Amino acid sequence: MANHISLFSQFILTFLISSLLICCHGISDERKTYIVYMGDRPKGDFSASEMHTSMLQDVVGSEGSDLMVYSYKRSFNGFAAKLTNEEMLKLAGMEGVVSVFHNEKKQLHTTRSWDFMGFSEHVRRSTALETNIIIGMLDTGIWPESESFNDEEFGPPPKKWKGICQSSSNFTCNNKIIGAQYYRSDGYFAPNDIASPRDSEGHGTHTSSTAAGNSVGKASMLGLALGTARGGVPSARIAVYKVCWSDGCYEADILAAFDDAIADGIDIISISIGGFYPKDYFNDSIAIGAFHAMKNGILTSVSAGNSGPDPETVFNFAPWFLSVAASTIEEILYQGKGVSINTFDLENEMYRVIYGGNAPDIRNGFNQSASRYCIQNSLDKTLVKGKIVLCDYISSGETASAAGAIGTIMQDGYFQDVAYNFPLPASHLALSDGFGVSEYVNKTRKPTATIFKSIARKDELAPYVVSFSSRGPNPITKDILTPDLAAPGVNILAAWTEGCTITGLVGDNRVLSYNIISGTSMACPHATAAAAYIKSFHPKWSPAAIKSALMTTEAEFAYGAGHINPVRAINPGLVYDAGEDQYVEFLCGQGYSTKQLQLVTGDNNTCSEVPKTISSNLNCPSFTLSAPSGQSLGRVFHRTVTNVGSAKSTYRAVVKTPKGLKINVTPDVLSFKNLGEQKTFVVTVTAKMGNASISGSLIWVDGEHQVRSPVIAYVSS
Ligand SMILES: *[C@@H]1O[C@H](CO)[C@@H](O)[C@H](O)[C@H]1NC(C)=O
Ligand SMILES: *[C@@H]1O[C@H](CO)[C@@H](O)[C@H](O)[C@H]1NC(C)=O
Ligand SMILES: *[C@@H]1O[C@H](CO)[C@@H](O)[C@H](O)[C@H]1NC(C)=O
Ligand SMILES: *[C@@H]1O[C@H](CO)[C@@H](O)[C@H](O)[C@H]1NC(C)=O
Ligand SMILES: *[C@@H]1O[C@H](CO)[C@@H](O)[C@H](O)[C@H]1NC(C)=O
Ligand SMILES: *[C@@H]1O[C@H](CO)[C@@H](O)[C@H](O)[C@H]1NC(C)=O
């Protein structure tokens, strides 16, 4: 899950398991689920299911239909089926197949955050249009009884809505949550899973309420972050597509949800889910789903991932996404020197402290090299019970809690820019403060301590991109900026499920309706809502135009194009628009064959007819190039802008060029007479690379608007 907290204990294990899966398939005859992607939905009369079954039977014989998992046919063409490696290869060579890929697992990746973005509760809204906006949430489901999803002031669903509500297991929709479905191809439900759109994890309830939850006064998490919890577009409707379960989110299910969501009539898709490594555009369920969404005028907002701060850690990077990094909000939760979300109050009482390294559970085979890190089951209950345990590493706190500790202090070199939630009183110290505590504990015969309840404090540096947020450049197409922009993703208060505790960890019994969590998962629905807000003013704008408006209206460069500013984004002046044709040109340049692309688009475009556009010509509102350290390079970018500001206007190019960067724009003045009029220009960037990336900008100004694009030169290896 991009909910960062759950990563600690499970990350390494999950990673190992998925690596094993990767290296083992291909050598066995065992059947695995594969996705056979066949591009766009054929026009006219045809029976997709029959066609898919017959293709399957061609390779597996007459038992074919039993092996069918999904038939995708409402928004694009393809199917998922259980195949041996040999059968998979046969299908991959068949006429009409674009790609075949394994059904891999993906993982999931606020009251005050909206005000912080200059987007207050009282902002000008187009409520009549906003209430027609439907946001599709591909996530862990939803807790429909939450106040955040109360439908008191809502009329019936918009007429365009064609989806369903799977009212199984005590789940009902209302006029706020207008649709809900769940997807689990193998029909397996763990004890923690509910076979219904109901959320038993919390993540989906949190992201849904961040995007479109009602305003709920006095929401808080046991007194922390007291305020109003509200979504970015509180009048919008929510359609729930539950694709994630206690063991992860599978590609076959994700594609089935896209297939439905696009056909159901939603306006924006929000998906805070990502994979474990970069995948080719048409070997990835989210990239494929989002491509067909784009073809249908629907923008897909995705979380960049939580694998930062190293470069090239973004695994959701297709240029037709709105890919969102996580930034901090103005408040940080802390107690004394420690950082954590601690709702427990020890009432200043002092407790004995024991160093984990001195409390190994020897009888169960643990020694101090495990117990100093408080590794799972490594602590001796009799030694730890009733004390505060000092651990040399951040962990979930489950082990300390299970061993009967009253609290835990963790010290390590881990980043301090995000606070985590633990099942017991806990404090996470930076290395320097931790050293002092460790020294005190070592040198004192009966060391004592207490742990304060957390309070909120202003973070003077905010907003900045948080350490865990995945970084570009784009691992497949280096010259495309990714992530696109940043939105609040740290310490976000939003609605929670009552189907589990707020941490889901052993030893926690706090079942609450609001919770504070962090992740690019939380940033994504902020951007989703900003996109929906723009759409409520400009219902006809393309996904690329909405993305451009969000990217070019940010003054402050944080990451990607910067930190979103929804209010300015409804009036960007100019947009860099792009439709399916531009993305197809881009894909031609990426080496896809005409045959593959004809299937994907469902028309007769050929790569030889359109220019083999290099990626730098994709009409996006950013300019990216890369070169090895010490080298100089130049690159020419062709761009087109569309006037959406004032009919008669004249824009002048202003460039910001730090040392090492030269930007030349021709022409450098663009005069418009009409709305919707387009002008092209050429940007020549020359970069002399040192050791670090260089970032400058190009801003078109007309006295009223500032249309800003980042210009970034990365050091490539
Ligand atoms: C796509 O996935 C298939 C099967 O999993 C694999 O054989 C193929 O190499 C992948 N293609 C690319 C371009 O990654
Ligand atoms: C249905 O859910 C509501 C709300 O959680 C609960 O109060 C009620 O007992 C549930 N009914 C059944 C039959 O599970
Ligand atoms: C602790 O246990 C591990 C594994 O059980 C072992 O490899 C290591 O040598 C032990 N360390 C000490 C200091 O005994
Ligand atoms: C405290 O003692 C442990 C070993 O028992 C050692 O690893 C650690 O470095 C000591 N802390 C300080 C600050 O000296
Ligand atoms: C594509 O070309 C074929 C043959 O030239 C023609 O029959 C078909 O109608 C064309 N399809 C589209 C969508 O233009
Ligand atoms: C790059 O970094 C190295 C060591 O960090 C330094 O010696 C060198 O001068 C730097 N080069 C440039 C071009 O800044």
Confidence of residue 617 (pLDDT cuts 50, 70, 90): confident
Among 604, 605, 606, 609, the mutation site with the greatest number of ligand 5 atoms within 8 A of its Cβ is 604
Question: Is pLDDT at 562 greater than 70 in this prediction?
Answer: no
Q: What is the structure's pLDDT at 260?
A: 98
Catalytic status, residue 521: yes
Ligand number nearest CA of 660 is 6
Residue type, 499: G
Question: Is pLDDT at 474 greater than 60 in this prediction?
Answer: yes
Spot the catalytic one: 52, 109, 203, 206.
203
How much is the average pLDDT of 579-584? 90
Q: What is the structure's pLDDT at 7?
A: 33
List strand residue ranges (DSSP E) for 183-315, in order.
Answer: 216-221, 224-229, 237-242, 244-245, 248-250, 268-271, 273-274, 299-303
Q: What is the structure's pLDDT at 715?
A: 86
Q: What is the structure's pLDDT at 557?
A: 41
Question: Is pLDDT at 618 greater than 60 in this prediction?
Answer: yes
pLDDT tens for 278-327 read 999 999 999 999 999 999 999 999 999 988 888 888 999 999 999 999 98
Spot the catalytic one: 285, 301, 521, 693.
521
145 ligand 2 Cβ < 6 A: yes
Catalytic status, residue 203: yes
Q: What is the structure's pLDDT at 659?
A: 93
pLDDT tens for 381-437 read 999 999 999 999 888 899 999 999 999 999 987 777 888 889 999 999 988 899 999
Q: What is the structure's pLDDT at 5?
A: 34
Q: What is the structure's pLDDT at 459?
A: 80
- Determine the Cα–Cα distance for residues 173 and 164; give it in Å rounded to an integer: 9
Distance 606 CA to ligand 5 centre (A): 12
User: Which atom of ligand 4 sits closest to the CA of residue 435?
Assistant: 13
Distance 595 CA to ligand 1 centre (A): 17
- Between residues 563 and 91, the one the model is more confident about: 91
Q: What is the structure's pLDDT at 11?
A: 31
| Ligand 6 atom 10, closest CA | 691
DSSP state of 41: P
604 ligand 5 Cβ < 6 A: yes
Q: What is the structure's pLDDT at 265?
A: 97
Ligand number nearest CA of 40 is 5
- Report residues whose beta carbon is within 6 angstroms of any ligand 3 atom: 367, 369
Question: Is pLDDT at 439 greater than 60 in this prediction?
Answer: yes
Ligand number nearest CA of 196 is 2
Question: Is pLDDT at 353 greater than 70 in this prediction?
Answer: yes
* Contacts of 38 by beta carbon, 8 Å cutoff, 6+ apart: 76, 77, 78, 79, 96, 97, 98, 599
- Report residues whose beta carbon is within 6 angstroms of any ligand 1 atom: 99-102, 280, 283
690 ligand 6 Cβ < 6 A: yes
Question: Is pLDDT at 12 greater than 80 in this prediction?
Answer: no
- Determine the Cα–Cα distance for residues 428 and 433; give it in Å rounded to an integer: 10
Q: What is the structure's pLDDT at 413?
A: 73
Question: Is pLDDT at 692 greater than 60 in this prediction?
Answer: yes
* Contacts of 314 by beta carbon, 8 Å cutoff, 6+ apart: 278, 304, 305, 307, 323, 470, 471, 472, 474, 475, 482, 483
- Between residues 26 and 430, the one the model is more confident about: 430
Question: Is pLDDT at 466 greater than 80 in this prediction?
Answer: yes
Q: What is the structure's pLDDT at 226?
A: 61
Q: What is the structure's pLDDT at 609?
A: 59
411 ligand 4 Cβ < 6 A: no
What's phi and psi for 522, nearest 5 deg? -85, -25
Lowest mean pLDDT among 95-104, 491-500, 570-579, 614-623: 614-623
Q: What is the structure's pLDDT at 161?
A: 98
- Between residues 388 and 332, the one the model is more confident about: 388
Distance 307 CA to ligand 1 centre (A): 23
Average pLDDT over the chain, rounded to an integer: 88
Question: Is pLDDT at 577 greater than 50 in this prediction?
Answer: yes
603 ligand 5 Cβ < 6 A: yes
Check whether the bond before 309 is cis (ω within 30° of 0): yes
- Determine the Cα–Cα distance for residues 423 and 499; give it in Å rounded to an integer: 17
